[in-house]
Amino acid sequence: MRALREAVQRKLRRENHLDYSLASVVIANGAKQIIFNAFAATLNDGDEVLIPVPYWPSFPDSVRFNGGEPVFIECGLEQGCKLTPEQLEQHISERTRWLILNGPGNPAVRCMTERSYWLWRTCCVVTRTC
């Protein structure tokens, strides 16, 4: 696997002018696997994951399998399919660990306001320990 990661690292440097450390290059079967692995690494029993509706069908099961609780946020037509700042504030709790933003094709994310993005940034912190 190291040889593949090194080849990807060289390709990114050569063709895309991107310089990533080898530790930053991850090989996976796809985004769903990466999301599942991230949940496995970060969720504890009872941790909450905010999921705007509509969502990809595998998200709730991935959360539950890893001990978390999915919290669904309805983003209906009556509000233009937008995830509002008020909804984020209402659903964030001490147990919230993740907010899934499935976009840009998902209308709940595509139509977010600038204020919503700022609130999202306050609740989503990615930590890395080596």
Task: Compute CA distances 118 → 53, 83, 89, 105, whole Å.
Answer: 20, 12, 12, 20
pLDDT of residue 123: 55
Residue 96 CA to residue 120 CA, distance in Å, equals 12
Using only the alpha carbons of the chain, give its radius of gyration. Answer: 17
The pLDDT tens digits for 105-114 are: 555 555 556 6
Which residues make beta-bridge pairs with 55? none
The pLDDT tens digits for 1-22 are: 899 999 999 999 999 999 999 9
Q: How many helices (H) and strands (E) does the chain have?
A: 6, 3
**Largest pairwise CA distance in the chain:** 51
The pLDDT tens digits for 27-60 are: 989 888 999 999 999 999 999 999 988 888 999 9
Which CATH topology does 43-123 take? Aspartate Aminotransferase; domain 2 (3.40.640)
Residue 4 CA to residue 99 CA, distance in Å, equals 31
